[in-house]
Amino acid sequence: MVASLRPHAGPPRSYRFPQFTDERLANGIRLLTAPVAKLPLVTVLVLVDAGSTNEPHGKEGIAALTAAALLEGTAEYDGAELAQEFERLGTALESGADWDSAFLKITVLTDKLHEATKLLGHAISGPIFPEREIERLRSERLAEILQLETEPRGLADEKFSEFLYADESRYSKPDEGGIESVSRLGRSDVEHFYRANYKSGATTVIVAGDISPEDSKALISGAFKEWPGGSVSRHQLLTDVRTDRKSTHIVNKPDAPQSELRVGHIGLPRKHKDFFPTLVMNAVLGGLFGSRINLNLREVHGYTYGASSFYDWRRGPGPFVVSTAVESEVTAPALNEILLEIDRIRGEEISAEELSLAKDYLEGVFPIRYETTSAIASALATLAIYDLELDYYDSYRANIHKVSATAVLEAARAHLHPEQLQTVIVGDAGIIRDSIMSLGPGEVAVHNG
């Protein structure tokens, strides 16, 4: 039969994150190029400091609408033709905006790169923002918002942010905007947001794949020659808590077969000195299949298909959240186990086995994360958006390696706050309310789903 002795690992082969150049083009654009010649493919990713945290008050959703509207045509091509121009080259221009930036992205075969990149520069330097298409994109966003009402996972995430942050915080509202603000957005808002934010000083272009830095520079300088100059100042971000007391919100969905559960509080900004110990701490708590929360809820109790915890890293302090979906009847016991695990990781040092599992995983999986041009471009985007050191990826594994069990305990004590936990449950209030009360969940509010 099969050999009973477990094999030992051979000597590891060294790995280095793809080397890249970092330069400033004559017109002010920052250009990062990572030459990777594995396959004849290139990803071009344009980042603009025009995310939703830069939206004027009352215009929530304008960042996403503007990013989408950039694909709707130029003086030369209307939106339909523009899509087809890219697609006949075998690529599709994608765009979007999250909290911290807007992006446009193509992945294309090398022999079509020049044509596609020229088209990209052309499209975003001279958008015409047709009224009809802006109206359509706005209606599509409203349809998406309507869909959330019957989508418990997305609804739970959204409600969690709403109940976590004070009303004045941009983070309390959906990153692509809610019904109230989106219904009032129009063409002039798009035009205005574009003129105010899409400038060379706020732009980073990332090129990853089968290309040299010299060719990349010539390509991007040419394609973005009409890109407007200037810089943009970032808005002050407010991230106050809605309440500093523990509380629980049940979004009532009578007859729901499961409860979608979110438990957490405001987390940390991405550029925090405790990033690495917190990352390792979270891996042990709920970041891995073999983490405490997943093993407890799934493998010991069979309450769920999966449970995890995670820090939503942003420029400002995004949420720390534990997420799971459990059968309605076991909502309270499942929530109780989560609370116990949060207490436990703050109570005493994790074991040497747990520490090595988390660290060995994070160190070992590192090269597997950067197999594609698109993943390499995203990694460089992280550098640019959060203004990380250029050697961030070269020192990543050493930084993970340095984290001790003591540092993990300190991170847990400093950055997990059981007394401030906010709980959101999307589920059948009739079944879950009474049993939840027995856990001392703070103030409990039931909302109509």
Partner 1 sequence: MRIPVETFQLDNGLFVSLSEDHTAPIVAVNLWYHVGSANERAGRTGFAHLFEHMLFQGSAHVGSNEHFELIQRAGGTLNGSTWLERTNYFETVPSNELALALWLEADRMGELLAAMTQEKLDTQRDVVKNERRWSVDNQPYGTMLEKMQELVFPSSHPFQHSLIGSMDDLSAASLDDVAQFFATYYTPDNAVLSIAGDFESAEARRLVNEYFGPIPKGKGKPPLPPMNLPPVFGKRLRDVVYDNVSLPRLFMAFRSPVFGTEGYYAASVTSALLGLRRGSRLHQALVRERQVAADASAFTFDLAKGTDLVVVDVTARPETSATQLEEEVEQEIDRLYRDGASEFEVQRAVALIETDLTASLQSAGERADRLSMFATYFERPQLINDQVDRYRAVTVGRVNEIISERFGANNRANLIYVPREGVESEDVLAAAVGTA
**Residues in region 12-71 near partner 1 by CB under 8 A:** 12-15, 38-41, 71
For partner 1, give the closer residue by CB, 138 or 217.
Answer: 138
Contacts 24+ apart (CB under 8 A), 150-156: 152/253, 152/256, 152/258, 152/260, 152/325, 152/426, 152/427, 153/260, 153/325, 155/251, 155/260, 155/426, 155/449, 156/251, 156/260, 156/261, 156/262, 156/323, 156/424, 156/425, 156/426
Burial of residue 64 (CB within 10 Å: 0-12, 13-18, 19+) is: buried
Residue 326's DSSP bridge partners are 259, 304
Cβ at position 325, least distance to partner 1 in Å: 5
Cβ at position 186, least distance to partner 1 in Å: 17
Contacts 24+ apart (CB under 8 A), 116-119: 116/44, 116/86, 116/89, 116/91, 117/44, 117/219, 117/220, 117/223, 118/222, 118/223, 119/82, 119/85, 119/86, 119/89, 119/93
Cβ at position 190, least distance to partner 1 in Å: 17
Burial of residue 233 (CB within 10 Å: 0-12, 13-18, 19+) is: exposed
Cβ at position 268, least distance to partner 1 in Å: 24
Residue 264 binds partner 1 (CB under 8 A): no
**Residues in region 189-248 near partner 1 by CB under 8 A:** none
d(CA 364, CA 384): 24
- Helix 213-223, helix 113-125: angle, nearest 10: 40
Largest CA distance in the chain: 73
**Residues in region 334-363 near partner 1 by CB under 8 A:** 356-357, 360-363
**Which of the stretches 26-34, 192-200, 255-263, 429-437 binds partner 1 when contact is defined by CB under 8 A?**
255-263
**Residues in region 307-336 near partner 1 by CB under 8 A:** 325-327
Binding mask 274-303 for partner 1 (x = CB under 8 A): --------------xxx----x--xxx-xx
**7, 75, 419, 448: which one binds partner 1 (CB under 8 A):** 7
Phi, psi dihedral angles at 11 (to 5 degrees)? -65, 135
**Residues in region 354-413 near partner 1 by CB under 8 A:** 356-357, 360-368, 370-374
Binding mask 103-142 for partner 1 (x = CB under 8 A): ----xxx-----------------------x--x--xx-x
**204, 247, 258, 422: which one binds partner 1 (CB under 8 A):** 258
For partner 1, give the closer residue by CB, 16 or 273.
Answer: 16
**Residues in region 66-95 near partner 1 by CB under 8 A:** 71, 79-80, 83-84, 86-92
For partner 1, give the closer residue by CB, 146 or 390.
Answer: 146
Cβ at position 105, least distance to partner 1 in Å: 12
